């Protein structure tokens, strides 16, 4: 069976193996890190939706649904940069009352017959949890580990109860603003803001972290799109060979200027935008007579009918002081300010692979500083299997070194809390902005059983 101890070395070895691979550009004349721009940006808005419904006659027996929203935006220029991350989810469940043994949405006489059959005909009366042959936890309505007359009384009190819909929701928002010291510097001041809220909170849980850092990220996605276009044009024989490096980078720059063309030419901007791309290709000498209508169709296919994953490269180190602004519960006091240190990096490997990760460390400014802390490590790996299939692997490891709460006293207490979540997914780009994904996840917390889940979802990407 997959355990925490087997998952952790696997993902660590994978991360270092991938990071040590050479960043070859394969057959192309340019590598991802050849792409440098004064302004780098990327954004993504996506919805996931799932709903299940079943009924027997006019009685609803199952009704479950969830809606998930993701929004990400990245902007980096000199001397200002920012990033936004927003996620929200709503979950609808049809909750059948305890005692609804036949799952028809209400506690009624047929359920009484099932309980009587178990207690008196199958010998369940007086059975305890240790008696694995006779005990059935479904009929232990009081949860005391014994099926007896108290469970009958609990059933009679619930007689007539009906199923009800339960709606739960939560959201999380994170932002970072950065101001570089000057245009040629990688030293920056920053401010992080985080907000979390769910239906179980009295109010949003918010915190802010001001500090200093060093480093910079570049989005090379436009260059990745240029490489994909070059690949398609070569396949169509619209060009005689690979574009020189400077022209491939120039093509990426034109692709990045989509917003500029849209603002200048309105609804007809694609004509002028595509002409500017063709001009770069013609000037390279690989298509002196132009790429023709077929080449233009291929450019349109790559930019509007396919999905090219974000390509980032760079790294940064930051250190600041975290302040909690509001606690989620009114009865809960704000936590002490603390040190917050972060390391982020991204490295493309050729044109098919992308590795990125982050490390976060925090410790409160109290007498326990350095003795009590939280450490998290997240690693992402993306492999572009084909133009329409991606494989994504993610590992998230968290370590929480805690102080003994006063409420525990001298009783047993685990000071070290370790958790790990390993997930893998195949994403199939069906058509235009519609994606189908198959996901598997393994969640392990020290001292608790391994949780395994599998899901298949259909999502729609707005942009």
Tell how far CA 441 is from the center of its chain.
12
Least confident of 133-137, 153-157, 195-199, 428-432: 428-432
Tell how far CA 411 is from the center of its chain.
38
Distance from C-alpha of 11 to C-alpha of 364, rounded to nearest angstrom: 29
Distance from C-alpha of 358 to C-alpha of 346, rounded to nearest angstrom: 9
Residue 27 pLDDT greater than 60, yes or no:
no
User: Is the Cβ–Cβ distance between 168 and 90 less than 8 Å?
Assistant: yes
CA nearest to 358, candidates 386, 330, 379, 331: 379
pLDDT of residue 233: 94
User: Is the Cβ–Cβ distance between 346 and 358 less than 8 Å?
Assistant: no
What's the half-sphere exposure (Cβ side, CA atoms, 13 Å) at 207?
Answer: 16
Distance from C-alpha of 326 to C-alpha of 364, rounded to nearest angstrom: 16
Distance from C-alpha of 116 to C-alpha of 139, rounded to nearest angstrom: 10
For the chain, give the percent of residues with pLDDT over 90.
43
User: Is the Cβ–Cβ distance between 355 and 349 less than 8 Å?
Assistant: yes
pLDDT of residue 411: 54
pLDDT of residue 53: 63
Q: What is the dihedral of CA 223, 229, 235, 237, to 10 degrees?
A: -110
Rounded average pLDDT over 32-38:
76
CATH 3.20.20.70, applies to 97-162: no
DSSP-H helix ranges across 30-163:
109-116, 149-158
Q: Where are the domains of the chain?
A: 97-162
pLDDT of residue 9: 45
- Beta-bridge partners for 173: 86, 195
What predicted TM-score, i.e. pTM, was given to this entire model? 0.70
* H or E element that contains 374: strand 373-386
Rounded average pLDDT over 274-299:
94
CA nearest to 169, candidates 67, 90, 64: 90
């Amino acid at each position: 069976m997959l355990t925490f101890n087997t998952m952790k070395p696997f993902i660590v070895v994978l991360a270092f193996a991938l990071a040590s691979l050479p960043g070859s550009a394969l057959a192309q004349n340019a590598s991802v890190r050849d792409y440098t721009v004064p302004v780098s940006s990327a954004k993504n808005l996506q919805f996931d939706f799932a709903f299940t419904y079943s009924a027997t006659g006019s009685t609803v027996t199952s009704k479950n649904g969830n809606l998930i929203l993701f929004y990400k935006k990245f902007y980096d220029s000199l001397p200002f940069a920012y990033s936004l991350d927003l996620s929200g989810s709503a979950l609808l469940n049809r909750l059948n009352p305890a005692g609804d043994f036949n799952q028809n949405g209400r506690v009624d006489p047929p359920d009484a017959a099932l309980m009587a059959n178990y207690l008196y005909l199958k010998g369940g009366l007086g059975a305890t949890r240790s008696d694995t042959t006779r005990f059935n936890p479904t009929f232990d309505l009081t949860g005391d580990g014994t099926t007896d007359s108290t469970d009958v009384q609990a059933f009679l009190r619930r007689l007539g109860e009906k199923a009800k819909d339960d709606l739960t929701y939560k959201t999380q928002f994170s932002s970072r603003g950065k101001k570089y010291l000057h245009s040629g510097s990688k030293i920056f001041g920053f401010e992080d803001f985080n907000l979390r809220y769910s239906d179980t909170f009295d109010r949003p849980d918010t915190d802010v972290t001001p500090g200093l850092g060093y480093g910079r990220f570049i989005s090379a996605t436009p260059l990745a799109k240029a490489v994909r276009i070059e690949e398609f044009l070569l396949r169509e024989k619209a060009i005689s060979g690979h574009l020189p490096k400077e022209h491939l980078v120039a093509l990426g720059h034109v692709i990045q200027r989509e917003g500029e063309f849209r603002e200048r030419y309105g609804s007809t901007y694609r004509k002028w935008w595509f002409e500017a791309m063709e001009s770069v290709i013609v000037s390279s000498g690989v298509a002196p007579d132009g790429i023709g209508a077929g080449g233009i169709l291929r450019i349109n296919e790559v930019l509007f009918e396919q999905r090219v994953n974000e390509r980032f490269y760079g790294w940064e180190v930051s250190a600041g002081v975290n302040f909690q602004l509001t606690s989620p519960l009114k009865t809960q006091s704000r936590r002490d300010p603390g040190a917050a240190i972060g390391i982020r990096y991204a490295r493309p490997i050729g044109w098919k692979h992308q590795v990125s990760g982050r490390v976060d460390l925090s410790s409160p400014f109290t007498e326990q500083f350095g003795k009590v802390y939280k450490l998290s490590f997240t690693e992402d790996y993306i492999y572009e299997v084909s133009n329409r299939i991606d494989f994504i692997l993610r590992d998230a490891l968290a370590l929480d070194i805690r102080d003994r709460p006063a409420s525990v006293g001298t009783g047993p207490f685990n000071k070290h809390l370790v958790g790990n979540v390993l997930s893998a997914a195949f994403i199939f780009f069906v058509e235009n902005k519609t994606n189908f994904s198959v996901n598997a996840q393994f969640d392990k917390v020290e001292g608790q059983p391994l949780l395994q889940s599998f899901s298949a979802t259909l999502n729609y990407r707005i942009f």
